[in-house]
Amino acid sequence: MAEIFVAKIAQFADGERRIVTDGKREIGVFHWRGAYYAYENLCLHQGGPACEGLLMHKVEDVIAPDRTWAGQRFSDCEIHFVCPWHGYEYDLKTGECAADRRLKLKRFEVLRRGEDLYVISD
């Protein structure tokens, strides 16, 4: 196992991300609402740089009391990053593919040591 330096915590603002490398492997590290998440930057579709895509809130359907469709809205609690190659969306907090939750990006532990942040790579 190796510890890969990500950033000084003071220089890694909430809402930002970093891409670090461990040999030939890239790892995307996200800072979101006070927590850190790290995944392999390798889309499960065709190997695109999934962690480099747009961040966007999940789009949810709104169902009226009479069970009819009443439009869409952005989720308050679920955020996705979107692979820039073909648009696969991944849940930022779990690494699951939003369209098929059985598919998950490889996750890495994030370690805070003093003022520095690391990911643990196997």
The span from the CA of 70 to the CA of 66, in Å, is 10
> Shortest Cβ distance from residue 120 to ligand FES (Å)?
25
The one segment of 58-66, 81-89, 93-101, 109-117 that binds ligand FES by CB under 6 A: 81-89
Q: How far is CA 41 from CA 24, 26, 34, 65, 76, in A?
A: 11, 5, 21, 41, 25
Q: Which of residues 21-80 bind ligand FES (CB under 6 A)?
A: 43, 45-48, 50
In degrees, to the nearest 5, what angle opens at C-alpha 122 toward C-alphas 38 and 111? Answer: 45
Candidate list 8, 11, 62, 87; residue touching ligand FES; CB under 6 A? 87
Phi-psi region for residue 15, left (φ > 0), alpha (ψ -120 to 50) or beta? left
Given candidates 32, 52, 78, 85, which one binds ligand FES under the rule CB under 6 A?
85
The helix or strand, by DSSP H or E, that contains position 116, with its residue range, turns out to be strand 116-121
Give me 15's structure tokens: 């809402």
Number of chain positions touching ligand FES (CB under 6 A): 11
- Cβ proximity to ligand FES: between 79 and 83 the closer is 83
Please identify, using beta-carbon distances, which residue of 98 and 111 lies nearer to ligand FES.
Answer: 98
Residues at the contact surface with ligand FES, assessed by CB under 6 A? 43, 45-48, 50, 83, 85-88
